[in-house]
């Protein structure tokens, strides 16, 4: 069995969860935030049999879009009289960042 962690955009999470549940998967959503942009995103956890991992990855790919976003870099330390105009930097936020881990045991108590 595998545990899939999929970090996805918050806007993509409801559609992805619907698609997963329609196909019979059990999933848990955790509201998370990215360390770099500090914006909320969603982490979807799923425990699945090994032979279903590819199917889940395909569903994630179908339901999560890549987006570009502009962020303002932090201004450097300024001396009095200096002028600094920060230019926004473009970052690409992936459709999803997915981790697949081996599961040793599942214990429903």
Q: Which residues pair with 90 in a beta bridge?
A: 70
Q: Radius of gyration of the chain from Cα atoms?
A: 19
Using CB under 6 A as the binding criterion, the count of chain residues that bind ligand 2BA stands at: 11
Q: Which of 55, 32, 52 is nearest to 42 (CA)?
A: 32
Site track 8-47 with ligand 2BA (rule: CB under 6 A), x = hit: --------------------------xxxx---x------
Backbone angles phi, psi at 73, to 5 degrees: -65, 155
Q: Name the residue nearer to ligand 2BA (CB basis): 36 or 70.
A: 36
**Counting contacts by CB under 6 A, is residue 63 touching ligand 2BA?**
no
Number of residues assigned to the chain: 109
Chain contacts with ligand 2BA (rule: CB under 6 A)? 7, 34-37, 41, 91-94, 97
């Amino acid at each position: 069995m595998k545990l899939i962690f999929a970090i996805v955009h918050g806007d993509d999470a409801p559609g992805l969860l619907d698609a997963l549940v329609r196909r019979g998967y059990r999933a848990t959503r955790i509201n998370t935030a990215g360390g770099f942009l500090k914006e909320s995103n969603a982490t979807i956890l799923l425990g699945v049999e090994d032979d279903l991992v590819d199917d889940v990855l395909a569903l994630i790919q179908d339901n999560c879009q890549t987006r570009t976003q502009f962020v303002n870099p932090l201004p450097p330390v300024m001396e009095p009289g200096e002028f600094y105009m920060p230019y926004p930097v473009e970052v690409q936020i992936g459709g999803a960042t997915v981790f697949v881990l081996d599961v040793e045991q599942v214990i429903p108590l």
